[in-house]
Amino acid sequence: MIKVSVENVRSYLADFGLEDRVKEFTESSATVELAAAVVGVIPARIAKTLSFLSPDGAAFLIVAAGDAKIDNRKFRDYFGFKAKMLSPEQAIDLVGHAVGGVCPFAVKENVAVYLDKSLQRFETVFPAAGSASSAVELNCEELFNASQAKEWIDCSKLPE
């Protein structure tokens, strides 16, 4: 299943001319720290994709910088409900990617994607590419277009 997901992402990114940017690793990149080590960048430049459940049962994604944490008040103010993350089973069923490889590309229909402004500090960032051992380097405009994000939002807090 995992290889299929990376191939789905590579095929999906081909529509944007970005398929050659997908990198697969022999080491795990399933967490921000692991991904930063294998890619060779600071953890903040890893674009982590967080999966949430809306009250109506739909999944949506927020892509944020690796050092950002969801700010519950900002989340509630923006979305109008309390943040509830998907379980690993729900991520596969509702989004189409396994935890560790969840990314904003080649997701199931009706999965909304939002990009957190914490990413805009960097020239390029590294979201996963459909597996726990993959990444793709993109600038913020490429990420916005390829993820078909609804908008840039501010719902995180950065470390002091």
Residue percentage of the chain with pLDDT more than 70: 98
Q: Residue 69 belongs to what H/E stretch? A: strand 69-70
pLDDT tens by residue, 97-151? 988 889 999 999 999 999 999 999 999 999 999 999 999 999 999 999 999 999 9
Closest alpha carbon to 33 in 23, 24, 44: 44
Specify if 156 maps to a domain. Answer: no
Q: Which domain holds residue 118?
A: 2-147
Which residues, 6 or more positions from 96, have their beta carbon under 8 angstroms from its beta carbon?
5, 8, 106, 107, 108, 111
pLDDT tens by residue, 48-72? 999 999 999 999 999 999 999 999 9
CA geometry: angle at 148 spanning 31 and 26, to 5°? 30
Measured distance CA(6)–CA(104) in Å, rounded:
12
Domain count, the chain: 1
pLDDT at 1 over 70: no
CATH code of 80's domain? 3.90.960.10
